[in-house]
């Protein structure tokens, strides 16, 4: 946030409010994130990541809620067998214990954040 010019250290610097405005999120969400009081919802994280120019994956990992193992990078083309295999949204829902009646919603939301196939 500091690297992007948001003064988040000074109580009157306005950086938190400016970041919240730029991202279209509530200022309290930014304050709670900075103070590590709570984790914003996925849409808030997506908006903050976009404004800060940081991949959403990095935001989620830097937040401490997920690890690099939780969000593996897709294997390079050419069949790298040592690279982690990506889970399909359906498989991820099952492994995470998402209730069957909510799996379709989980899959739809998850797919919105996946890169589009070329």
Sign of CA dihedral 32, 37, 43, 45: positive
| Angle between the N-to-C axes of helices 103-112 and 89-96, in degrees from 0 to 180, rounded to the nearest 10 | 130
Residue 118's pLDDT is what?
Answer: 43
Burial class (CB in 10 A: 0-12, 13-18, 19+), 22: middle
Four-CA torsion 35, 38, 39, 45, nearest 10 degrees: -50
The pTM assigned to this predicted structure is 0.56
pLDDT for the residue numbered 92: 83
Residue 40: the pLDDT is: 80
- Residue ranges of the chain with per-residue pLDDT less than 50: 75-79, 118
Write out pLDDT tens, residues 2-20.
888 888 887 777 888 899 9
pLDDT for 85 equals 63
pLDDT at residue 82, rounded to an integer:
54
User: What CA–CA distance (Å, rounded) separates 89 from 113?
Assistant: 11
Nearest to 46 by CA among 28, 29, 69: 29
């Amino acid at each position: 946030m500091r690297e992007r010019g948001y003064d988040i250290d000074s109580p009157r610097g306005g950086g938190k409010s400016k970041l919240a405005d730029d991202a279209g999120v509530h200022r309290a969400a930014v304050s709670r994130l900075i103070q590590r009081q709570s984790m914003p919802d996925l849409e808030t994280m997506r908006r903050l990541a976009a404004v800060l120019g940081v991949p959403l994956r990095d935001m989620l990992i830097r937040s401490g809620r997920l690890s690099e193992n939780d969000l593996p990078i897709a294997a390079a083309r050419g069949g790298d067998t040592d690279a982690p295999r990506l889970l399909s949204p359906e498989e991820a829902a099952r492994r995470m214990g998402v209730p069957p009646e909510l799996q379709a919603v989980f899959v739809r939301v998850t797919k919105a954040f996946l890169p589009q196939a070329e």
